[in-house]
């Protein structure tokens, strides 16, 4: 097993309505709650030598300019509408991974456009809650190799 190294903080941002995971359209989003996702990310982050934090989207992105080594963001409904989030992400010189529980490209046409995909380092969509783990593992690798 490889040596563990401290790679700093990772910001995890959840967009609107994700607090309803587990209740809202479970046939589409699954039964896992946002608290369960956050708990699993914290455990995996500790294992990978990372930590996470969630908060007000644009303010947190702006605060992360000098403080964070990477961002995982699920902008939820803001994916399709928020130029403000896109502009805030343009301030960063760190890896940004956009995560979606569902495959947005198999959904309604208005959901198939992401305002931030062209400024994100990578996008993971359609893997359900496993997408967060995939994003955190990929981000840890990017940070360690960068």
Contact 88, 61 (CB under 8 A): yes
Q: Look at residue 62 in the predicted model and tell me its pLDDT.
A: 73
Q: Taking a C-beta distance cutoff of 8 angstroms, is the pair 121, 96 a contact?
A: yes
Range of the domain at 122: 10-145
Q: Could you give the residue numbers annotated as active site? A: 29, 100
Q: What is the pLDDT of residues 5-47, one digit of tens each?
A: 334 577 788 888 888 889 888 998 899 999 998 888 888 887 8
- The answer to the question of residue 3 being in a domain is no
Q: What is the mean pLDDT of residues 56-82?
A: 81
What number is the average pLDDT over the span 135-143?
A: 92
Cα 139 to chain centroid, rounded: 10
Query: What digits encode the pLDDT tens for the residues 86-109?
Result: 988 998 999 999 999 999 999 999
- Beta strand segments in 9-69, E: 10-14
Total domains in the fold of the chain: 1
Residue 86 lies in a domain: yes
Return the CATH number at 112: 3.40.50.9100
4 within some domain: no
């Amino acid at each position: 097993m490889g040596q563990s190294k401290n790679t700093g903080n990772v910001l995890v941002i959840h967009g609107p309505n994700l607090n309803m995971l587990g209740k809202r359209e479970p046939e589409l989003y699954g039964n896992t709650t946002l608290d369960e996702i956050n708990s699993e990310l914290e455990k995996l982050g500790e294992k990978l030598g990372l930590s996470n934090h969630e908060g007000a989207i644009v303010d947190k992105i702006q605060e992360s300019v000098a403080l964070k080594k990477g961002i995982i963001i699920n902008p939820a409904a803001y994916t399709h509408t928020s130029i403000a989030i896109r502009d805030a992400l343009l301030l960063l010189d760190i890896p940004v991974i956009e995560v979606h529980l569902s495959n947005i490209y198999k959904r309604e046409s208005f959901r198939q456009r992401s305002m931030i995909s062209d400024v994100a380092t990578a996008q993971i969509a359609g893997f359900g809650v496993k997408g967060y783990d995939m994003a955190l593992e990929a981000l840890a690798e990017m940070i360690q190799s960068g």
